[in-house]
Amino acid sequence: MKAFKGRVVVPGRIAAEVLVSHQGLNTLASFQKALQFGDKKATCGDQNNPDLYGKQMAGKALCLPQTIGSTTGGLVLYCACSMGRQPACMLFSNPIDSLAAAGAVLADVWLDNVRMPVVDSLGQEFLDYVKDGMNVVIQEDGTVLVG
Amino acid sequence: MKLTEEQKALLEGSKGETLAKVMESLVRYGELFGADEMVPVSSKYNHLVTSFGLKALGPVYELMDKLIEAGAPSGQKFTVDPKPLDKNVPSNFAQNIVFKHFMYSRQKDYEKQLRELGLLSDKAFTCTCYMDEVGNKPEFGDVLSWSESSAVVYANSVLGARCNRNSGIIDLMGSVIGFVPKFGLLTDEGRKADWIVEVRTEKKPEAQLLGSAIGMKVMEDVPYVKGLDKWLGNVLDDEACTYLKDFGAATASNGAVGLYHIDGLTPEAVKYGEDLIKPDAKVYVIDDAELERVYRDYPVIWKNKDASPKLCFMGCPHMSLQQLKDWTDKIEKGLAMSGQEKVTVPTVFTAAPDVLEKFARTPYADRLKATGVITSYICPLMYMNNPLSEKMPVITSSNKLRTYTSARYYTDDEILDQLTKGGK
C-alpha cells in the first residue's frame, strides 16, 4: 500500500475501485447523458476524454487533476449526488477548481444521506501512480491508501 | 473567514434555515480557495447558466423551490442562458417527442421559477447578455456573481469586471445574499498571468482554434497573449469584441480559462501592461503549424465520417449583430459564386432575442432569409445533447459546441464552402 496525503474538502472514510482521468474532467460532457437518460452506472459520455469515455463513473474512486468546461459543472455534480449516481469519492491531484468545489460543497450542505468524500492537492505523483482497477481507501484526515 | 455581524447572523440562522444554508455554502466554497472575506456584489444585474427545465435536473429545481419558499429571491434581476427549444429550428417527429415530453418536460415550470426569483424579462435568455442590445453589461471593476463560462471570461477579460468561474446555483446564491467570497479572479494577484502566449502566425488566427489551443494548454490559468493585437488592432470595436467572444468561449470550454489579457487591447492589459505577468510565467508559442496540429487532433465521432451534414449551427455563443450582417454578406457572395440560390445545408444562426429583434429591423434580415438560413434564439448545446441529435451529422464553427456534443468543427471558411458549395 502506498499512502498519499491531501487536503480534505468533504470528509469521509470509504474504500473503492480506482478510475483515472489524466486530463481535466468535463463534468457536463461526462455526466449529462447519464443523468438525462436514467443510466445508473453514470457511463462517461465525454468523447474528448479517452481515459473515461464509455466507462462507469458511479461508485468509483474518480482520480483526476481537476474539472473543466461549462459552469453547469457544479450543479451537474450536485444532481449526480442527489440521484445516487456520483463517484464513491473524488480525488484531485491539483487544488480543487471552483466548479467541482461548488458541486462538492452543495451536495454536502444540502443533501441528507449523501456522502461523497473529496480530497484534493494529492500531487502529480498520485495521479501518475493510480491505475484503473486499483483499490483505494480514503481516511478522514485526507490520507489516501492505494493498493 | 472574517464575517460581518450581519453575515454571522445569517450563518447562524437569523433569517431561517434556508438562508443559513446558502450562507454556509458560500462560506465553505470560499474557504476552499483561501477567501478571508465576503465582498458585495456590485453589478446591476446577475447572469445565470441554468436556462433549461431538464427532467434530469430535478434536484436543482427542488433547491430553487426552497429559496422561493423561504422568500429569498435574487437580490438583482438577472439574465439567463438561452432556451433549449425553438419551433423554428428543424427537428423531426422523434426529436420533438424527446425534446418536449422527455428531456425538457419541466421547461414551463422552471421558467415560472425564474420569474419568481428575478428574471429580467421574457427576452433575457441568451449566453451573450453583455451585448449592447441586451444590456447586462457590467462596468470595469464590478464584482459579479455570474456563471456561464463564456460570459464570465468575457466579463473578466473584455470588460474588466471581476468574477470567478462560479457554478450554477452558486451564481444565484451570491445574488440572494448580496455577497460573494473574495478569492481568485476577484483579487489583484489572481488576475496576474501564469502564461505568456506568443502568437506568431502568418495570418489572422481563427478565433475558435486559437482559443481552443490556449485553453487546452493553460487550463484554468490566466494567459497574457502577445502578438494578437497585430491582427485585432488596439481598439475594442465590434469586430474585436466579436472575435474575443468566440476566442474566450473556446478557452473556457476547451480548458477552464476565466480571464485572459490581450496585450495592447483588453482593458487591464492596456492599463498595466506586462506588470500583469507573473515572474515565473511559462511560455507557449503558437504558430500556424501549432493551430493546424490542434485542429487535426480533434476527434470526429460521427459514425460515418464521410456523411453529408444534415444541419449547421452557428452561434455558440450567440452571434453578435455585426456577425449576423457579415455572415449574410459572406453567404450571399458564396452562393452567387457557386451559382446556388439557397444554402445547401439546413443552417441555423443563433443570437439573443434582442439582437435578433434589431437584426430583423435591418435590410439584412430579408437577405439572410432569402438564402434559406434560419435565425433562432435557441441554445445549440441543448438541442444537440440527446441520442437522436447526436446521431445527426451536424457541423459548426463553434469549438464550444464541438467540445460538448457530436458536432463536427470546421473553420469559418470551410463552413462557408459547405453551406454554399454543396455540403460535402
CA distance B154 to A72: 17
Mean pLDDT of chain A: 94
Residues of A whose CB is below 8 A from B25: 105-106, 109-110
Domain layout of chain B by residue ranges: 5-186, 189-296, 311-421
pLDDT (0 to 100) of residue B422: 76
CA distance B176 to B22: 8
Distances (CA, A) of B125 to A97, B22, B51: 27, 25, 7
Q: Say yes or no to pLDDT of A62 above 80.
A: yes
- Nearest chain A CA: its distance from B368 CA (Å): 31
B5-186 is classed CATH 3.30.499:
yes
Cβ–Cβ under 8 Å, residues B285 and B214: no
Residues of A whose CB is below 8 A from B403: 26, 29, 48, 69
CA distance B64 to B169: 8
- Give the count of Cβ contacts less than 8 A between chain A and B: 126
Please answer yes or no on whether B387 and A26 come within 8 Å at the CB atom.
Answer: no
Lowest mean pLDDT among A30-44, A80-94, B165-179, B205-219: A30-44
pLDDT (0 to 100) of residue B346: 96
Which residue segment(s) compose the domain that A25 sits in?
Answer: 2-146
Query: A interface mutation test: which of B10, B11, B26, B32 has the most A CBs within 10 A?
Result: B32
pLDDT (0 to 100) of residue B423: 54
pLDDT averages per 10-residue partition of chain B, 424 residues = 96 96 97 97 97 88 94 92 92 82 87 96 98 98 97 98 96 96 98 98 98 95 97 97 98 93 98 98 98 95 91 98 97 96 97 98 98 97 83 94 92 96 68
**B170-177 vs B58-69: helix axis angle to the nearest 10?**
10
- Nearest chain B CA: its distance from A131 CA (Å): 23
Please answer yes or no on whether A97 and B165 come within 8 Å at the CB atom.
Answer: yes
Q: What is the DSSP track for A64-124?
A: ES-EES-TTHHHHHHHHHHTT-S-SEEEESSPPPHHHHHHHHHHHHH-TT----EEE---H
Can B5-186 and B311-421 be said to share one CATH topology? yes
Q: How many residues can be counted in chain A?
A: 147
B152 interface with A at CB cutoff 8 Å: yes
pLDDT (0 to 100) of residue B104: 86
- When pLDDT is cut at 50, 70 and 90, the band that residue A47 belongs to is confident
pLDDT (0 to 100) of residue B99: 81
Please answer yes or no on whether A48 and B403 come within 8 Å at the CB atom.
Answer: yes
CA distance B81 to B231: 30
CA distance B85 to B52: 9
Q: What is the DSSP track for B67-120?
A: HHHTT---SS-EEEPPPS--TTS---HHHHHIIIIIISTTHHHHHHHHHHHTB-
CA distance A91 to A75: 19
Ramachandran angles phi, psi of A3, nearest 5°: -105, 140
Distances (CA, A) of B149 to A73, A92, B3, B154, B258: 10, 21, 28, 9, 7
Domains: count for chain A: 1
Q: Which of residues 191-210 of B touch A (CB under 8 A)?
A: none
Residues of B whose CB is below 8 A from A78: 59-60, 169
**What distance separates the 2 farthest-apart alpha carbons in chain A?**
38
- Out of B56, B166, B387, the one facing A79 most closely (by C-beta) is B56
- Out of B24, B184, B406, the one facing A98 most closely (by C-beta) is B184
- Nearest chain B CA: its distance from A15 CA (Å): 24
B32 interface with A at CB cutoff 8 Å: yes
- Out of B29, B63, B166, the one facing A71 most closely (by C-beta) is B166
Q: Which of residues 207-266 of B touch A (CB under 8 A)?
A: 219-220, 252-253, 255-256
pLDDT (0 to 100) of residue B74: 84
Please answer yes or no on whether B28 and A37 come within 8 Å at the CB atom.
Answer: no
Q: Which superfamily, per CATH, for B311-421?
A: Aconitase, domain 3 (3.30.499.10)
Read off the pTM: 0.94
Which amino acid is located at B109 in the chain? Answer: D
pLDDT (0 to 100) of residue B102: 77
B149 interface with A at CB cutoff 8 Å: yes
- Out of B49, B103, B387, the one facing A71 most closely (by C-beta) is B49
Closest residue in A to B169 (Cα) is A75
Q: What are the grid coordinates assigned to B169, written together?
A: 446555483
A69 interface with B at CB cutoff 8 Å: yes
Over residues A64-78, mean pLDDT: 91
Using DSSP bridges, classify how beta strands A89-92 and A118-120 pair: parallel, antiparallel or unpaired. Answer: parallel
Burial per residue of B241-254, b for 16 or more beta-carbon CB atoms within 10 angstroms, e otherwise = bbbbbbbbbbbbbb
